[in-house]
Structure 1
Amino acid sequence: MKLINKSILTVAITLSTASVYYAQQVQDTVAKSKDIDEVILRGVTDIAKDRKTPVAVSTIKAAQILERQGNQELVELLNTTPSVYATKGGGGFGDSQITMRGFESRNIAVMVNGMPVNDMEGGTVYFSNWTGLSDVTSTLQVQRGLGSSKLAIASVGGTMNFITRSADMKRGGVVRLGVGNNDYLKTSFAYNTGKSNDGWSSSILMSRQSGGTYIENTDYEAYAYYFALGWEPNKKHNFQFTLTSAPQWHDQRTFAPTIQNYINYNPDRDGSPYRQYNSDYGYYTDASGNKVALANRSNYYSKPVMMLNWDWTMNEKSKLSTVLYMSNGRGGGTGDLGKVGGKSITDASFVDTSGHFNYDAIFAANQAVNLNTAGAGSTLIRRSSVNSHNWYGILANFQHKINDNWNFSIGTDDRYYYGYHYQLVSDLYGAAGYKDSNNKNVAPNIVSNSYDYKKLAWNPFGGKTAPLQDQVGFSNDGEVIWYSGFAQVEYTKNDLSAFLQGSVSNQGYQRIDNFILDGSQLKGQTVNTKTGFKNLFGYNIKGGANYNINEQNNVFANIGYYSKQPFLNTVYPNNQQLINQSLTNEKIFSAEIGYGFRSAKFSANVNLYRTQWKDRWLRKTNQTFTLPDNTTTTGYAEINGITEIHQGIEFDGTYKPTSFLEFNGMLSWGDYYYKGNATGTAFDDNNNPLTLSGTSNTSELFIDKVKVGGTSNNSIPQMTASLGATIKPVKDLSIYGTWRYVGKLYSSIDIATFSNQSAQDRGVLQLPDFNLFDVGASYKIRLKNESQYFTVGVNIYNLLDTTYISDAATNVFGNDTPTKLADGVTNNTAKKTYEELGMMYKGIATGNRTYFGFGRTWAATLSFNF
């Protein structure tokens, strides 16, 4: 599994307060200052200004993060932001997913202090590696649409900017304890020295978090450490050095079970779905005769990052901001590899009556295999897919104030990235070893060494690769060279502000396959271990203007065009050394208009937007395919030639009738659909082409006017709403609650379904709408010393314990005919439909693979500030 590339956190933990800020709040109105720090984009951190920057923006403050997050995923706090949908995904620690205006995280620019941190090979973002981020973020700003970032990044859906404070914050510290459901326990300590007379300052943070989530067998352990050293020798120069990491491991649920299996494996056998069900683990009998749980799917990662920031105020009109950084990520994810007796891990003989793996049966089958005479892949093991990397970069931005009305900035964003991707044995499941034939340099190769994923990698420089003879399955590296330039000009006069910005970039990709020999033949072509670099040029241009009609009303508009380079797996499809012959840049055009209203008691925003995305290429992983002989296999699909239209309207507002009562709400309606058809190709997990029908593994996908769904085990809603209230009956006490609605929720498209033209008329599966309620309270206990106080907080999520489907991976309809039935019936000779068989749940067929949202959960915190 690809894991997030996150930037350094350059702050100390923010002190807890009882004040409440809402996701719909915008930044405080900016005074009409002519200082260069008041330009739309400042330093390397692109901060949108209310009634000035012409973008749709929402902001969450540190107080809300510390008060309301509890044991939720950090991105879930954005669910009261228009057009944002965040879920827990499979339910493992940090396995959350987020979409913005119908675009997934790989097409949302995630930044820390203005620095992009999306993976350089595939744009992915895995939030399990952001463990310490909630403790050190002072402001989380979400800009929907094009955003105000001037960098050469494809913020198709928008940007998420985690803005942190520097080491020179006020002297003090905090100790915090958090507890919650499923043995959740979090402890943290932070201290800031404050700034000395010589301009020195430092901050430290240490935290540990452990427990499990609402889902079966999702134990985890996560740490976070942070050190910052600041020096401001004079008013012209400011230096900040930081080192941080958040090593973690967590057991997962990456396969979405069918609704029928949620029902079948409910221990209560009452016909309702068992929401906690996890099919990705099982049990074995230890030497003492005890049943021990063992996870097949797990994730582990550590990403130490170092960064040096230098801000140089040259004079009253000019400023140069420079950031040097390096990041060494180490880790990966586990899963099964191989077969024993021709059976995969999901074979019925390896699954017990509770729907979990019977490892005793797997161990026995493996122990009976003679590796000297058996073929390759003839034992069933747990492998670890390593995804490590080294990343170095420099980001520089020069700003100059021409006069009272005009400012400009120019800069560069340059990076070098080298990723290591290979598989190791993580658990032999009782086998003597694993025979691999993929490594042409060490073949035939019997591997018996195994690597424990729970041994966290604390060393930021070690553990780059394992010996080649220990690698199985695949071993390839990805090398990326990225250099870009950007420029912006801004005009501000009276009530009008406008900007025009553009960027150009070159991305060079090289794929290195360590398992093949130079001069090998592939599809009639000669290939080598190294492909050489394929350079791709891209650019973007965007502009916008805001006009303040009066002190209460403002309007804005923005427009932009991106020529976006595709990701590395598009350049080298099918995980092989051949360059994509139909390679082309993706084209994104977007336009938006907005209106804002501000008064003492009521504030509101309304936005209209439209985005067109052409020539999109997509890889869908974790797919299950039904072959012509009605057997199934897992693999991935590659889809090209996609055009998407995303358009909609958004509203958010805040009403404060009194000093002790406040309401906030939002409503978003979208219309996201595919325009024209596309082409899809299916492969198994070993990169072999799969023929789903006919004689070819490539087919036309009939998706014209079909609603846009997710790209994996996730869904995208096209209507969301929320309403929240906060009451402060007495000083230092806050009681709050939120209602949230999700509708027009669509499953992800799949290549097997939409290769049939009749599927176009049915469209993508729409899931049931749902409503959720959360409540909480926070109280501050003050001591005689004003700098010392306790804060007590409690949150209850999904108060009414609502059962709902948050994500889905398939498109099975009630009038489809199942080939396999429940309760021991293995065929459907009468060819009855799901509806005729009564196999329906809330109007959808129980053959659909889904994730159910968490039931009622809770968390409580106690902190002491000093």
Structure 2
Amino acid sequence: MIHFLLIPAFIFGQGNISGRITDSSNGQGLPGANVVIDGTELGAAANSTGIYEINNVPIGTHTVIVTVIGYSPLSKTINVSSSSSITVNFSLSSESIELTSLEVLASRADERTPVSYSNITKAEMEFRLGSQDIPMSLNTTPSVYATQQGGGAGDARINIRGFNQRNIAVMINGVPQNDMENGWVYWSNWDGVGDATSSIQVQRGLSAVNLAAPSVGGTMNIITDPTAMSRGGKLKQEIGAGNFLKTTINYNTGLIRDKMAFSGSIVRKTGDGVIDKTWTDAWAYYFGASFQMNQSNRFELYAVGAPQRHGQNLYKQNLGAYDSEFAKSIDGYDETALGTDGKFRDSGEINGISFGRNFNQNWAPVNSNYKGKQYYYMYGAKTVDRFNPNFINERENFFHKPLVNLNHFLTINDKLRLSSVLYWSGGSGGGTGTYGRIPTMDADGNLGDDDYKFYYGRSPWVRDWNALITMNSGSDDTVYVDKNAFAREQGQSVGILRNSINRQNTIGLISKLNLDLNKALKLQFGIDWRTAGIEHAREVRDLMGGDYYIDYADDNYPSGKKVTLGDIIAYHNDTTVDWLGVFGQASYASGPISAYGMAGFSSIGYSYQDHFTVDNEKIIADPISATQFKGGAMFDVNDNLSIFGNFGIVEKPPIMDNVIYYDGTVASDPANEKFQSFEAGANFNSGIFGLKTSYYNTDWMDRNLTKAVTSGQGSSGDTDVIFLTGIDQNHSGIEIEGKAQIMSMLRLDVVASIGNWKFVGDASGNYQEDEFNEQGQVIGQTTTNYDYALDGLYVGDMPQTGYVFGVTLTPITGLRAQVLYKIYDKNYSDWGPSAREYSGDDSEVDREQVWEAPGYSKMDIHLSYDLPTIGGMNFQLFAHVFNALDNIYVQDAVDHSRYNSYGDKIHAAHNAEVFLGIPRYFNAGLVLRF
């Protein structure tokens, strides 16, 4: 079939292109350089002197693109006529020379920057991503680990060097995107960015980013520059496992009269999900514009957003609840937990819910005759029918977070330039859960009633919506849930679905003044100002058969408040976050030496107002200041080899949860977290072969950590909270990244990451435990002070050892295939607080190491094939197979689960809760470029 499709290319190909590719700095040939005809991937590789030749090029106008490891890509437009032979030479610049103004504003690193970094180009993104969440495309870079967690669309997370994404600065076009309250990043908000991205750069460690936003794990710079896009449009249609369907429409004008460029994308995505009921219903949009007003002024405007809803799978399970045979294969797993007499069930079904590898605890079937409406607010109130008449997701996410940037680049004179971005980031939506008392069944279908509790039976448990609807709509004045009797009035719901909502507005300004003192020495001064207002509340989403619900959370209604669809319940508060940072940086580059040093100061202030208190007082915490100092140097040993080192001392203010507590009290003296990091490395590049190596050592001191523990009482999603302080950690490791263009049709990539991450010393914590009334509502908290035995534990949540092997083949014209094989080991689970706490004497405290999940491997396959050009339009087929060998493995784990453990041994496989890797799935489609 492939050979048949290639026949037209050979029939109509009547021209030849040849030439030489050289280094612009010395005129030497660049062996192994890749030369392709855009849209066809007709191409060749340069020989040992940089000479290339491409035969059988179709008649017409073409764009020839040249790429080589360590150099900026270059393209030229040529016209091929009948039987012509054209000479086209290329002179390439190293990556350090051509940084755009937008990349400078976003603090992008180049090959003269003394930090560890990896670039992912647009072509690589398109070739590998396959409509996964953006972090999944970064798993081929050293010390990066991204998973899809429970499998919900946009629920991915990423760790770098053992630090989670709260400690990784994520920026889009230079604008920070981490949540200003807790530092988290919600990838469902950026679904459309992957289709509009020009490139992504990952800087590992403290990075060279000079914003006063510390990032101990690393920095992700995502660029969507319309001027970097060539003129043309794209229509892409994708299909995939789980009835996945995605349509992307994009158009780029390219530069118009060297003054303007526009780019726009619209994306529509739907699907049922590979994991049970992790459906998605999403839109995404992107718009970018650039205007060169004159030689001194350039403006850019960006807008991006992704209004979406999706079903979630948030609850990890015991291994035995997914696959008993896999559980038995793991050393130390207690097999008495399995089988018909055991604790966990991994096969069959109950109440229409199937158990096994794709099990999701966050949904349950419902009688389609139930016609109750659901309410949610996402830039407008919406009263709607539920997503599917036959089931209800306990956990659904709905959110829209638009981002608008206005950039201005001002050239004051030959030595002075000002780059600024004014931005607004909104946000409206939330997530669902239950509230009140919810009938629940064990894995054998036994419902918690007047003499039985669901957790007496086998796990995992599931909700019984139909039983709840019957209770709420019935005439009984007393109902029973898990051996507890509850009095109710006619029409009163004893349990409901709720929304936890978040409405936010952030305005910010980042401005950088660049001063060139001379050709070698440059200075930069900047300001980073942001202010955010966030509303938090819960709302009635679905009354589940009743007419109203009585809520006791508002102190203004001590006897309870009757609420109906859309009314606020549980809590209602407003917070503000005000941030101001300034920095100064000096950089030097002359001959073989380059260096930089920066100093930054930041101040952050929080306020909190609880509308459910009688006095409704606004609590304002004193501003907290922090400093950072970092710098590095690089020395070019010769044209191919450079060595570098960097060092930094950085303070990070605590997040809001560690400054103003849930009950409105303010921490007396919240301490800054402190990072001290050192890194040294070497980079080698010969054109055919590239190698980067580095060693890092980072001390994290006085870490503040909020640890949520599922309470098992009251409403699903209610949690006890532990506020920990004084945590110390050490992260060190070695990274290797190698690339080799063996021949024109074969490229090899190797990545290795070997880490050693441990806690140093114990920590203190306040265990805040919720108190419940008989309706299952939180009415207060009790706080107990504990110490936690962490000294010597491995830092989990990411394998400490990882390898990636990649083979890319272009065996025939237009066909490209890549196999990525990933191996992970030292896969320590994240520590669980149960059994780690102690008070006073620590002689009996549990200091056993956390459970180490089995190492694993997985293979991904990526294919693309360019069809012959028809009427000036280019067609490309593509396909992806993820986890191609369908391996079963543990990707995320928590040690000593409070509710999914079994038996006496505390830190063993049968006591952990996990997410397994997603089973084999595919993505495929067709791209039309014009």
User: Taking structure 2 as the reference length, what is the TM-score of the superposition?
Assistant: 0.79
Report the Cα distance in structure 2 between the residues aligned to 1:223 and 1:159, rounded to whole angstroms: 27
* Match of residue 5 from structure 1: none
* Match of residue 607 from structure 2: 510
Question: How far apart are residue 166 of structure 1 and its match?
Answer: 2.5
Report the Cα distance in structure 2 between the residues aligned to 1:646 and 1:377, rounded to whole angstroms: 54
Amino acid at match of 1:765: W
Q: Does 1:578 align with 2:665?
A: yes
Percent identity between matched residues is: 31
1:407-444 Cα shifts (integer Å, max 9, x gaps):
01111111110011000011122233221122123554
* Match of residue 311 from structure 2: 251
Change (3 A) 1:19 1:613: farther
1:594 to 681, 690, 695: 681
Question: How far apart are residue 209 of structure 1 and its match?
Answer: 0.6
Change (3 A) 1:315 1:160: same
* Match of residue 484 from structure 1: 581
Q: Does 1:367 align with 2:473?
A: yes
Report the Cα distance in structure 1 between the residues aligned to 2:230 and 2:900, rounded to whole angstroms: 66
Question: Is residue 726–residue 737 contact of structure 1 (8 Å, CA) maintained in 2?
Answer: yes
- Structure 2: stretches of 5+ with no match in the other structure: 1-37, 44-64, 74-91, 324-343, 372-387, 479-485, 772-777
* Match of residue 553 from structure 2: 438
* Match of residue 59 from structure 1: 119
Question: Is residue 275–residue 853 contact of structure 1 (8 Å, CA) maintained in 2?
Answer: no
Report the Cα distance in structure 2 between the residues aligned to 1:652 and 1:644, rounded to whole angstroms: 26
Question: Is residue 389–residue 417 contact of structure 1 (8 Å, CA) maintained in 2?
Answer: yes
Question: How far apart are residue 288 of structure 1 and its match?
Answer: 8.7
* Match of residue 596 from structure 2: 499
SS of corresponding position for 1:261: helix
Question: How far apart are residue 760 of structure 1 and its match?
Answer: 4.6
SS of corresponding position for 1:65: helix
Amino acid at match of 1:440: D
1:692-748 Cα shifts (integer Å, max 9, x gaps):
xxxx73211111111112xxxxx2211111101011111221111011011111111
Question: Is residue 121–residue 198 contact of structure 2 (8 Å, CA) maintained in 1?
Answer: yes
* Match of residue 209 from structure 1: 269
SS of corresponding position for 2:124: helix
Pairing 1:423-822 to 2, within 5 Å after superposition: 423-451=538-566, 470-518=567-615, 529-573=617-661, 575-624=662-711, 634-684=719-769, 697-709=784-796, 715-755=797-837, 760-783=846-869, 788-811=873-896
1:758-809 Cα shifts (integer Å, max 9, x gaps):
6653111111110101112111123155x52011100101111101111112
Report the Cα distance in structure 2 between the residues aligned to 1:153 and 1:181, rounded to whole angstroms: 39
Question: Is residue 186–residue 207 contact of structure 1 (8 Å, CA) maintained in 2?
Answer: yes
Amino acid at match of 1:300: F
2:531 to 400, 416, 432: 416
Question: How far apart are residue 633 of structure 1 and its match?
Answer: 8.3
Amino acid at match of 1:449: T
* Match of residue 324 from structure 1: 422
Question: Is residue 799–residue 826 contact of structure 2 (8 Å, CA) maintained in 1?
Answer: yes
Question: Is residue 433–residue 446 contact of structure 1 (8 Å, CA) maintained in 2?
Answer: no
1:659-689 Cα shifts (integer Å, max 9, x gaps):
1101001111111111111123333456778
- Structure 1: stretches of 5+ with no match in the other structure: 1-14, 452-469, 519-527, 710-714, 822-831, 836-842
Amino acid at match of 2:645: A
Greater shift, 501-510 or 617-626, is seen at 617-626
Report the Cα distance in structure 2 between the residues aligned to 1:582 and 1:477, rounded to whole angstroms: 23
Report the Cα distance in structure 2 between the residues aligned to 1:250 and 1:146, rounded to whole angstroms: 34
Change (3 A) 1:410 1:284: same
Amino acid at match of 2:135: V
Amino acid at match of 1:737: V
Change (3 A) 1:425 1:359: same
Question: Is residue 691–residue 737 contact of structure 2 (8 Å, CA) maintained in 1?
Answer: yes
SS of corresponding position for 1:771: strand
Question: Is residue 682–residue 751 contact of structure 1 (8 Å, CA) maintained in 2?
Answer: no
Question: How far apart are residue 39 of structure 1 and its match?
Answer: 11
Change (3 A) 1:137 1:820: closer
2:923 to 852, 859, 863: 859
Greater shift, 674-683 or 537-546, is seen at 674-683
Report the Cα distance in structure 2 between the residues aligned to 1:16 and 1:285, rounded to whole angstroms: 52
SS of corresponding position for 1:762: coil
Question: Is residue 836–residue 846 contact of structure 2 (8 Å, CA) maintained in 1?
Answer: yes
SS of corresponding position for 1:103: coil
Question: Is residue 678–residue 697 contact of structure 2 (8 Å, CA) maintained in 1?
Answer: yes
Pairing 1:252-291 to 2, within 5 Å after superposition: 252-263=312-323, 264-267=344-347, 274-287=356-369
Report the Cα distance in structure 2 between the residues aligned to 1:268 and 1:326, rounded to whole angstroms: 50
Question: How far apart are residue 258 of structure 1 and its match?
Answer: 2.1
Question: How far apart are residue 626 of structure 1 and its match?
Answer: 10
Q: Does 1:47 align with 2:162?
A: no
Change (3 A) 1:273 1:614: farther
Question: Is residue 44–residue 115 contact of structure 1 (8 Å, CA) maintained in 2?
Answer: no
SS of corresponding position for 2:919: coil
Change (3 A) 1:743 1:245: same
Q: Say which structure, 1 or 2, has more relative contact order (CA 8 Å, 6+ apart).
A: 1
Report the Cα distance in structure 2 between the residues aligned to 1:420 and 1:478, rounded to whole angstroms: 6
* Match of residue 433 from structure 2: 335
Change (3 A) 1:282 1:782: same
Report the Cα distance in structure 2 between the residues aligned to 1:539 and 1:246, rounded to whole angstroms: 35
Question: How far apart are residue 340 of structure 1 and its match?
Answer: 5.7
Change (3 A) 1:33 1:265: closer
Amino acid at match of 2:864: S
Change (3 A) 1:251 1:625: closer
2:280 to 212, 220, 223: 220
* Match of residue 386 from structure 1: 501
Question: Is residue 207–residue 224 contact of structure 1 (8 Å, CA) maintained in 2?
Answer: yes
Report the Cα distance in structure 1 between the residues aligned to 2:731 and 2:228, rounded to whole angstroms: 43
Greater shift, 852-861 or 240-249, is seen at 240-249
1:571-608 Cα shifts (integer Å, max 9, x gaps):
012x1211112411111111100011111322111111
Greater shift, 436-445 or 845-854, is seen at 436-445
Residue correspondences, number: 784
2:302 to 233, 242, 263: 242
Greater shift, 131-140 or 281-290, is seen at 281-290
Report the Cα distance in structure 2 between the residues aligned to 1:211 and 1:342, rounded to whole angstroms: 28
Report the Cα distance in structure 2 between the residues aligned to 1:684 and 1:347, rounded to whole angstroms: 29
Greater shift, 590-599 or 24-33, is seen at 24-33
SS of corresponding position for 1:349: coil
* Match of residue 404 from structure 1: 519
* Match of residue 155 from structure 2: 95
Question: Is residue 70–residue 687 contact of structure 2 (8 Å, CA) maintained in 1?
Answer: no
SS of corresponding position for 1:651: strand
Question: Is residue 437–residue 444 contact of structure 1 (8 Å, CA) maintained in 2?
Answer: yes
Report the Cα distance in structure 2 between the residues aligned to 1:18 and 1:197, rounded to whole angstroms: 28
1:322-373 Cα shifts (integer Å, max 9, x gaps):
1111122101111111126999999952879985321111222333576997
Question: How far apart are residue 183 of structure 1 and its match?
Answer: 0.6
Change (3 A) 1:585 1:775: same
Larger Rg: 2
User: Taking structure 1 as the reference length, what is the TM-score of the superposition?
Assistant: 0.84
Report the Cα distance in structure 1 between the residues aligned to 2:108 and 2:900, rounded to whole angstroms: 54
